[in-house]
């Protein structure tokens, strides 16, 4: 049976979500599987902070993280011994409670969030707060896990700014880049796009994503378009849907693209600010 572009993209998105759920990556409001002990300890603190001052029983926490109540009790004891202010409330509605006033939430910035800070900093150099923003970014990088920093650096290498001034300034807020596009760029996977061009024609395209480019007016995805057999710039606000096909794409850097923009106007952002 033949699928339309929108049906194929919808099916691909559903499969991706289903795969994530089966792998236990993120299931909102449900259980969280395949979590190692270090991640679970952080998650327990965040969980107790989120509901404080209400308690969470060992049974509730065990059900959420799909471990035994004994494992939760050992985890809580380890946190208490490390100085985390968790105490037990007795009674039918009792459980574990954290003193929210004496704890700070962990800085769990994603790679994309770190890149967002760096891009904002690059466009704020002329403001009196540039030094403070640079300091904040360095603090984030200092405590970020090495794997997250590597991912952020890989994504940052695929971002270019054109000219001066903030991208999208003077107009509506720029659209958020779909997560599938961000992941496909760093993983070098082929994307399937549903795209409406400037003539209002909707097409389904396989593209090999290379970089994000921000101008004063818009943000674009620079990619090799298999339909047009050449480099194309896809405005993010015209992308209706995007699916990571998982197919490996040939290695291409921004320099490999035939882009009609003078090099003097292109700026590569430094993750370290």
| Contact call for residues 227 and 205 (beta carbons, < 8 A) | yes
| In the chain, where the domains are located | 25-102, 111-268
Pairwise pLDDT comparison (57 vs 124), residue with the higher score:
57
**For strand 159-162 and strand 266-268, is the pairing parallel, antiparallel, or unpaired?**
antiparallel
Q: What angle do helix axes 146-156 and 179-187 make, rounded to 10 degrees?
A: 90
- Under a CB-based contact definition with an 8 Å cutoff, are residues 12 and 19 in contact? no
pLDDT in tens, 132-180: 888 888 888 877 778 888 888 989 989 998 875 555 555 566 666 777 8
pLDDT in tens, 68-121: 999 999 999 999 998 889 999 988 889 999 988 776 666 668 888 889 888 888
Start-to-end C-alpha separation, the chain: 51
| DSSP element (H, E) containing 148 | helix 146-156
Looking at CATH, the fold of the domain delimited by 25-102 is given as: Arc Repressor Mutant, subunit A (1.10.10)
pLDDT top residue among 244 and 27:
244
DSSP H helical ranges for 168-229: 179-187
- CA–CA distances in Å: residue 136 to residues 26, 154, 225: 28, 20, 38
Q: What is the DSSP-derived secondary structure letter of residue 49?
A: H
Residues in the chain: 273
User: Which residue in the block uniquely carries the two structure tokens 């480019």?
Assistant: 213
In this structure, are residues 227 and 206 in contact, taking their beta carbons and an 8 Å threshold?
Answer: yes
The confidence score (pLDDT) of residue 200 equals: 93
């Amino acid at each position: 049976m033949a699928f339309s572009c929108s049906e194929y993209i919808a099916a691909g998105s559903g499969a991706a979500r289903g795969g994530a759920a089966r792998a236990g990556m993120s299931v909102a409001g449900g259980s969280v599987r395949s979590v190692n002990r270090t991640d679970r300890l952080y998650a327990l603190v965040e969980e107790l902070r989120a509901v404080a001052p209400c308690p969470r029983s060992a049974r509730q926490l065990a059900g959420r993280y799909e471990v035994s109540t004994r494992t939760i009790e050992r985890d809580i004891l380890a946190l208490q011994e490390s100085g985390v202010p968790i105490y037990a409330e007795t009674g039918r509605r009792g459980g574990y409670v954290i003193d929210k006033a004496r704890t700070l939430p962990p800085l769990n910035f994603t790679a994309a969030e770190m890149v967002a800070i760096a891009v904002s900093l690059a466009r704020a150099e002329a403001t009196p707060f540039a030094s403070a923003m640079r300091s904040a970014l360095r603090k984030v990088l200092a405590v970020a896990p090495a794997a997250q920093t590597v991912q952020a650096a890989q994504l940052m290498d695929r971002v270019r700014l054109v000219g001066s001034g903030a991208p999208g300034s003077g107009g509506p807020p720029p659209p958020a880049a779909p997560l599938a596009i961000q992941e496909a760029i760093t993983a070098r996977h082929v994307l399937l796009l549903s795209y409406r061009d400037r003539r209002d024609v909707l097409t389904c395209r396989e593209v090999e994503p290379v970089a994000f480019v921000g101008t004063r007016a818009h943000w674009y995805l620079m990619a090799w378009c298999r339909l047009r057999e050449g480099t194309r710039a896809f405005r993010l606000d015209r992308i209706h849907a995007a699916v990571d096909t998982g197919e490996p794409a040939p290695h291409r850097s921004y320099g490999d693209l035939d882009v009609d923009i003078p090099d003097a106007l292109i700026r590569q952002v430094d993750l370290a600010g």
